[in-house]
Amino acid sequence: MELLAGKDVASRIGGMISPKHQIHGYAVALSVKTIYAVDPTGQVDFGGGEYMAAGKLPVEAMRRNREDKYTWWELDRGGYFIEFNETLELAADEIAVLEPDERLIRAGASHPPIYLRGRVMPVETLLSVDASRVAIKQNARISRVRVFRLAGNQVAAAAPGPSPAAAEPAKPEKKPKKRK
């Protein structure tokens, strides 16, 4: 598996607000577009026939001052859906990891790291606010994405050691049957 440089990851991401501020050595920062409260009921069953996603209720963003260009979401403790400005389109041999930014964690909120494949439009995650309150500004960079290229069969071919045929266990020899 190969970790791609941020500049290479950027070519797989659409909707960036400011590439200059979002592209880093081995990651690209993602920015908040919309925040939703979690409608309290979702359900998951074994076969999927009774599956029901939790609903999304838009959280209103407010201007702190009349002259502010951007708005803020004031989030109380609990769970929220986050929709990012950015979209993602990966090749078949790539996988991305979406992880929370350290500043988000230090502010008292987080989201689980998640793996993404293929075309992801929109990129979303479930935010957990553990502090009494967290304020998030519109377009805040709260997460980052890292992309890995999977090596597939090339790993087995390049790996040192015995060949796959040599690794197979030897078959026991058949002993001839004794005649009576």
Domain range for 117: 2-34+72-154
Tell me whether residue 103 is in a domain.
Answer: yes
List strand residue ranges (DSSP E) for 15-140, in order. Answer: 28-38, 56-58, 72-84, 87-89, 94-100, 109-110, 114-116, 119-120, 124-137
pLDDT at 178: 56
Tell me whether residue 176 is in a domain.
Answer: no
pLDDT at 3: 97
How many domains in the chain? Answer: 1
What sign does the dihedral 162-165-168-171 (CA atoms) show?
negative
Tell me whether residue 46 is in a domain.
Answer: no
pLDDT at 118: 97
Tell me whether residue 63 is in a domain.
Answer: no
pLDDT at 40: 82
pLDDT at 37: 97
pTM of the model: 0.81
- Any idea what the Cα angle at residue 116 is, between residues 96 and 74, rounded to 5°? 100
Tell me whether residue 164 is in a domain.
Answer: no
Tell me whether residue 177 is in a domain.
Answer: no
> What pairs with residue 147 in β-bridges?
96
Contacting residues for 1 by C-beta, under 8 A, at least 6 apart: 148, 149, 150, 151
pLDDT at 172: 47
Tell me whether residue 128 is in a domain.
Answer: yes
Tell me whether residue 138 is in a domain.
Answer: yes
Q: Provide the CATH number for the domain around residue 135.
A: 2.70.40.10
Long-range pairs for 116-119: beta carbons < 8 A, 24 or more residues apart = 116/88, 116/90, 116/145, 117/90, 118/89, 118/90, 118/92, 119/87, 119/88, 119/89, 119/90
User: Which of the residues in the chain have pLDDT under 50?
Assistant: 154-173
pLDDT at 154: 46
pLDDT at 77: 97
